[in-house]
Structure 1
């Protein structure tokens, strides 16, 4: 599966139509069960759980009840978002996949996982490598392939789909936090992030409340990000604004725009990313054309190139921190 198809909003909605009724809230809830199950807040209440044994029952993003170790020791993540989440929660996985559109872990997390085995590409695990990692918990991101999920559950029944179509990163983080029995930690991470975003946004000087366009350049042209897409949510948390034509609900990117509609990406500032070498080449080619040079942000020198593997994903707390720093660096001048 390509990174573009994986991130397609319409594909997600079609695939998840049968489970969307559960919504993201389901992933936050622990089910009822044996004495070592969760109390619904991610805290194990049985002595066996406190001692590191036993299991808890949690619900994943599809509403499926899954028994997980009370304190998982060997976690495998199949998406960048799950990797970001567990690292932020203080859990080092034993197996990970490469970043979106990459043949290696995402750059902003690379130093944190130098000695962790790679078990495949994004949402494309190599089963022999997963088995070798001996996981007691697999976080399968937004995995849609039921055959692959079946294989993963044969390796360990504690395999969870952690993301639903409308989940933002905070909701997904709480779900992952619940799965690894660190929901309190997840809530604190979110609280700390929100405080940092508000504080940083309020200290931007002339850049405070700036109008920011958030754009990804694809091989066939640009797309701007809707309000509920990851980087857009960070902008909102910082008190930043969006150009009028981009001030629309949605958690994905728009269809690719033609050169004739390039003015849709304009704003006081443009934060521009690519995900692939073809996208970077297409951007370089268009930067010499009059239509691009006539954008107000280009004329003012207000175009900032950012990391697409951070800005164009579904996000996580460590990625959110990187986006805050990118905004601060550009707008605080």
Structure 2
């Protein structure tokens, strides 16, 4: 990732490397739920999915564990939620919960475009993982969803505003795991499970309807100022493609949920595929992509020669995702691969 991109998303990727990951991926879920629900399990979700809250929780608090394993008392029915990442924003909106405070999207100075209509009138309390504390205080939250925040000083300040502050993502969590955890935190686990079940059914059905492009190898790439990075198989947008029954090019058929280091033009063939989905996050990245599109190395890519290149919104495709973002990615892929070449 370039230095300019780091300045836009200052802590997110670097702190992930510092997070002790042993067992962290399932902690948000395995420890979630009300004090009385630990013996039940959700058969529709993963084996580590949290149990649905039992009994009457119309008032009072519930104990949940966040992605770091910290036990947190949260309102049984939170009314004023502040979210610090667009993934948490995506999650609560998918659960029909309107937060009172949000942050700008990844690499953006405004909320992500695909959620813009849904967040009109909601106060912005800072940039991604960079809350302005006075604005958070003014929002009077009873629950703060802090995404993959690992800055202990910031977390300490947030917990002074409300002890009900949760880290919702561990580095190895996919969006479905994190989404179930958010669903449990806001006491809507059953609804979260249904959202995932409906999405998976739609992805499978849509993939089966692609006919000529069924099981096509799709390359998913973010173009940075210093070159392209393809996304590993468990990265969010890659996972959507796999849920549709699509494949990845041989060079990209690697496990993991990150982006590769930026590639030089000598290795640009690694981004080739039956279809190429290209996104950027910054103006510098978009400029670099425009420049390279005039070079022979780019023009020789099979996807380019076949006119199978699709420009996508990097602020959606490059994130850790959520159900609303997944629907955007699914629809873009479906539209492209369903069109007659």
Residues 1:26 and 2:27 aligned together: yes
Decide which of 284, 304, 307 is 2:310's aligned counterpart: 304
- Give, in whole Å, the separation in 1 of the partners of 2:146 and 2:8: 16
1:189-213 deviation digits (Å, cap 9, x = unpaired) = 0000000000000001211111100
- Give, in whole Å, the separation in 2 of the partners of 1:176 and 1:7: 19
- Give, in whole Å, the separation in 2 of the partners of 1:219 and 1:243: 23
2:126 aligned residue: 120
Q: 1:239 to 1:130 in 2, by over 3 A?
A: same
Decide which of 9, 14, 18 is 1:15's aligned counterpart: 18
1:304-329 deviation digits (Å, cap 9, x = unpaired) = 00010110000000000000000011
Structure 2-normalised TM-score?
0.92
2:265 aligned residue: 259
1:39 aligned residue: 37
Residues 32 and 66, structure 2, Cα contact 8 Å, conserved in 1: no
Deviation at 1:15, TM superposition (A): 1.4
Residues 213 and 224, structure 1, Cα contact 8 Å, conserved in 2: yes
Deviation at 1:251, TM superposition (A): 0.4
- Give, in whole Å, the separation in 1 of the partners of 2:68 and 2:112: 27
Residues 29 and 58, structure 1, Cα contact 8 Å, conserved in 2: no
Deviation at 1:7, TM superposition (A): 4.9
1:272 aligned residue: 278
- Give, in whole Å, the separation in 2 of the partners of 1:234 and 1:95: 28
Decide which of 319, 324, 332 is 1:326's aligned counterpart: 332
Deviation at 1:83, TM superposition (A): 0.2
Q: 1:31 to 1:116 in 2, by over 3 A?
A: closer
Residues 1:130 and 2:136 aligned together: yes
Decide which of 219, 240, 262 is 1:213's aligned counterpart: 219
- Give, in whole Å, the separation in 1 of the partners of 2:51 and 2:161: 24
1:177 aligned residue: 183
- Give, in whole Å, the separation in 2 of the partners of 1:30 and 1:185: 19
- Give, in whole Å, the separation in 2 of the partners of 1:275 and 1:31: 34
2:43 aligned residue: none
Residues 30 and 42, structure 1, Cα contact 8 Å, conserved in 2: no
Alignment of structure 1 residues 223-234 onto 2, 5 Å = 223-234=229-240
Q: 3-state DSSP class of the match of 2:22?
A: helix
Residues 64 and 74, structure 2, Cα contact 8 Å, conserved in 1: yes
Q: 3-state DSSP class of the match of 1:57?
A: strand
2:42 aligned residue: none
Unpaired segments of 5 or more residues in structure 1?
none
Unpaired segments of 5 or more residues in structure 2?
1-5, 39-49
User: Which segments of structure 1 move beyond 6 Å, counting only runs of 4 or more?
Assistant: none
| RMSD, aligned α-carbons | 1.5
- Give, in whole Å, the separation in 2 of the partners of 1:38 and 1:186: 20
Decide which of 251, 270, 274 is 1:245's aligned counterpart: 251
Decide which of 138, 146, 160 is 1:154's aligned counterpart: 160
Deviation at 1:6, TM superposition (A): 4.2
Deviation at 1:24, TM superposition (A): 2.1
Deviation at 1:39, TM superposition (A): 1.4
Residues 31 and 38, structure 1, Cα contact 8 Å, conserved in 2: no
Deviation at 1:21, TM superposition (A): 2.1
Q: 3-state DSSP class of the match of 2:90?
A: helix
1:273-317 deviation digits (Å, cap 9, x = unpaired) = 000000000000111111111111111111100010110000000
Deviation at 1:23, TM superposition (A): 1.8
Structure 1-normalised TM-score?
0.94
Q: 1:38 to 1:322 in 2, by over 3 A?
A: farther
When the two structures are aligned, how many residues end up with a matched partner? 323
1:58 aligned residue: 64
Deviation at 1:131, TM superposition (A): 0.4
Deviation at 1:29, TM superposition (A): 3.2
- Give, in whole Å, the separation in 2 of the partners of 1:251 and 1:293: 28
- Give, in whole Å, the separation in 1 of the partners of 2:106 and 2:254: 25
Q: 1:68 to 1:202 in 2, by over 3 A?
A: same
Q: 3-state DSSP class of the match of 1:67?
A: strand
Residues 32 and 184, structure 2, Cα contact 8 Å, conserved in 1: no
Q: 3-state DSSP class of the match of 1:21?
A: coil
